[in-house]
A and B are shown apart, each in its own frame.
Chain A
Amino acid sequence: MIVTEHLQGAYGDTIVVDDVSIAVPRGGVTALVGPNGAGKSTLLALVSRLMGPRAGTVTVDGLDVTTTPSDALARRLAILKQDNHLSVRLTVEELVAFGRYPHSHGRLTASDHDHVRRAMGYLDLEPLAGRFLDELSGGQRQRAFVAMVLAQDTDYILLDEPLNNLDMAHAVRMMSQLRAAADDLGRTIVIVLHDLNAAAAYADHMVAMKDGRVAAAGTVADLMREDLLSAVFDLPVRVLDVDGVKLARYYGVPVASTTSA
């Protein structure tokens, strides 16, 4: 379980995450949603010790992320930020193999190679194994990065907008692969999503953030509510039930229609 208590994060004097106390249960997919600048990415960076908190604590399975040795944490929790531009020229296979670094420190064993192969297979990367990253499309590269964090074989996987650069087909495939990783491999996935409907269709839990604070947290059914989403996004949002899945409609919704909901 990931638990944050009164967590505060700041860049200089600007507080971007304030008083966030949430508990992400073990297993399943938790989606972080909210408008730009709500503090979603910063929260992920704080939880994954990429950034030090200004106040408050973060624990992962009871381990405080600021005091636990970084390499021990790297075997428990993996983070993939958005906008990963590697200037290092690596092949897909080399990149995915670096996901094993916390376990092998570069000397790959047979089991490390198994993990690498499985992670690449999971994201359909075998045909690209020997290709250099700078020769791939943005979507292919994104899949390679996700394969790297999967190969890291951690209980917790934190992903910051992994659907960036992906077209609809690849976005759907990525989400179902992550869903499968949670269901089949028992991983706990925390994912920042811009697409509310991706969250609604694939996540178990949702955390909505606004202005650095948690606006609401709960199951998908708890959060996919018109009044709540409209307030979080400052935008009229309609929630429709399509084939048993709640979907949000926000394009072309007249302002008046939300008040009647």
Chain B
Amino acid sequence: MTTTLTRPSTRHPESGRLAPRRRIRPARGAGVLVLGCALLAGLAAASLVVGVADISVAGVLAGGPERDVLLVSRLPRTLALMLAGAGLAVAGLIMQLLTRNVFVEPSTAGTLDFASLGLLACALLWPDAPVWTRMTLATLAALAGTGLFLRMLRAVPVRDVLLVPLLGLMLGGVVGAFTTFFAYRTDLLQSLGAWTTGDFSAVLAGRFELLWVAGALVLVAGFVADRFTVAGMGESFTTNLGLDYRRTMALGLTVVAVVSATVVVTVGALPFLGLVVPNIVRAIVGDNARRAVPLVALLGAGMVMGCDLIARLVIHPFEMPIGTVMGVLGALAFLVILLGRRGPRVR
């Protein structure tokens, strides 16, 4: 029998925020940002160098095949990693603020599953659709799915923080099963696999540029960050401060849906990223989105790049899909966050 014990404190039972035992001064955010940039630069350099073909600075400067490897394969892959990582991590932060729940992100709210469903529908109804059309359909499906998730949350007043992502995972599971069934019946299982498991090995120049949309949305999110923080305080705070709550929610969810769709279309789903990264950043600088967005983007990019390097190195010269590495590492990090959070505990 599982019992929920609430500590005798004034802390709100619904806020399962991850909080550090000792206080970290928010001013440290700047230091972390500089450190993060340096680390990211190092990872990017490694990502450019690691691969089957060896490339050297001299070789690239001399032109020829080494320059082609860099410009056609390595550089696009590195950029794609950064853009997808930053985009999904920021999408996770926005979702957590808007749903006021630290365990919600595009993969625990059904968003990614709905995006896959949209892609499947497009592949069935309009097989030769241009990439922008496919992305638009995936975005619409992701938007509709996330809207449905939020509607479910309103209809079922969930008291426990953990039930919210559980509800999202179940919704995603149902939609995923539906999608798999039709993909199976129409011989599209292989395409479905590409959407649901992140993999950067096929990224080449000309096949990742859609991800710049995710990058642009990260900038937009940084620009309107304060609105998301305000919305995260709840409807009455938002109205009191003169912001339209519904419009802010709609703006945030649109950013989340577009980012999710672009990532699923180009490289496939990256599980747990949007969950782990914002929670780590929250522990350091808190939730003020204006402060958190740059750090979340940086850490998201770095984490995806690190996981991709692992995926490229463990069975070198072959590769594992990055989605597998992220699934394992992300699930571990999720567990650490779950067990380490203060406030109400489930035992």
A binding-site residues for B, Cβ under 8 Å: 45, 48-50, 69-75, 78-81, 84-91, 94, 98-99, 101-102, 105-106, 130-132, 134-135, 137-138, 141, 149, 152, 165
Contacts and interface: CB of A to CB of B under 8 A. Distances in A.
Nearest to B161: A87
A129 to B, nearest CB: 10
B80 to A, nearest CB: 31
Contact of B239 (A70, A89, A137): A70
A134 B9 CA distance: 11
Contacts of B282: 89
12 contacts: A48-B240, A69-B242, A78-B240, A86-B232, A87-B102, A87-B232, A88-B233, A89-B287, A91-B286, A102-B242, A130-B26, A134-B15
Interface stretch (B17-25, B128-136, B192-200): B17-25
Nearest to B245: A70
A7 B282 CA distance: 43
B97 interface: yes
Contacts, number: 103
A151 to B, nearest CB: 11
A51 to B, nearest CB: 9
A135 B25 CA distance: 13
Given A74-B241, A88-B100, A106-B226, A79 B236 contact: yes
A49 B243 CA distance: 12
Interface string B28-61: 0000000000000000000000000000000000
Contact of B14 (A81, A85, A101, A132): A85
B240 to A, nearest CB: 5
The 3 lowest CB-CB distance pairs between A and B, nearest first, are A74-B242, A71-B242, A106-B226
B243 A71 contact: yes
B10 interface: yes
A87 B234 CA distance: 9
Given A101-B230, A130-B26, A88 B287 contact: yes
B207 interface: no
B15 A87 contact: yes
B101 interface: yes
B159 interface: no
Contacts of B234: 86
B254 interface: no
Nearest to A79: B240
Given A101-B226, A106-B290, A134-B17, A165 B242 contact: no
A134 B242 CA distance: 25
